[in-house]
Amino acid sequence: KAGVTQTPRYLIKTRGQQVTLSCSPISGHRSVSWYQQTPGQGLQFLFEYFSETQRNKGNFPGRFSGRQFSNSRSEMNVSTLELGDSALYLCASSPVRGLAGSSSYNEQFFGPGTRLTVL
């Protein structure tokens, strides 16, 4: 199976702009999560989508949003970019086993990430 793909791989934006990142999960995976990685804060959870619904959300401002499409592909959007948004944004998909869509016992498979630089 092909792995998780993320586009674009690199992106340079200026403060105040907005950006949209895309993630295609592994075929058959219905859960998609997003993480931000920075040298100062490490890896932090942004949100998780399952069946086009946001199921979990991290502690990020409302400028960070996302969505999931019926084919499980996901996008995240950051509006009004700030310098501190410069980071590696990682998407992960999970196969979701168990009852009622629970993914508590599933590993997550990460994509290569999108490196966002805000100038």
Q: Which residues bind another protein (CB under 8 A)?
A: 4, 31, 33, 35, 37, 42-45, 48, 50, 55-56, 58, 88, 90, 92, 94, 100-113, 115
User: 3-state DSSP: the chain helix, strand, coil percent, rounded to 5?
Assistant: 5, 50, 45
Q: Which C-beta is closer to another protein: that of 78 or that of 90?
A: 90
The 10 Å Cβ neighbour count of residue 117 is: 13
Q: Which C-beta is closer to another protein: that of 5 or that of 79?
A: 5
CA 57 to the chain's CA centroid: 11
Q: Which C-beta is closer to another protein: that of 48 or that of 78?
A: 48
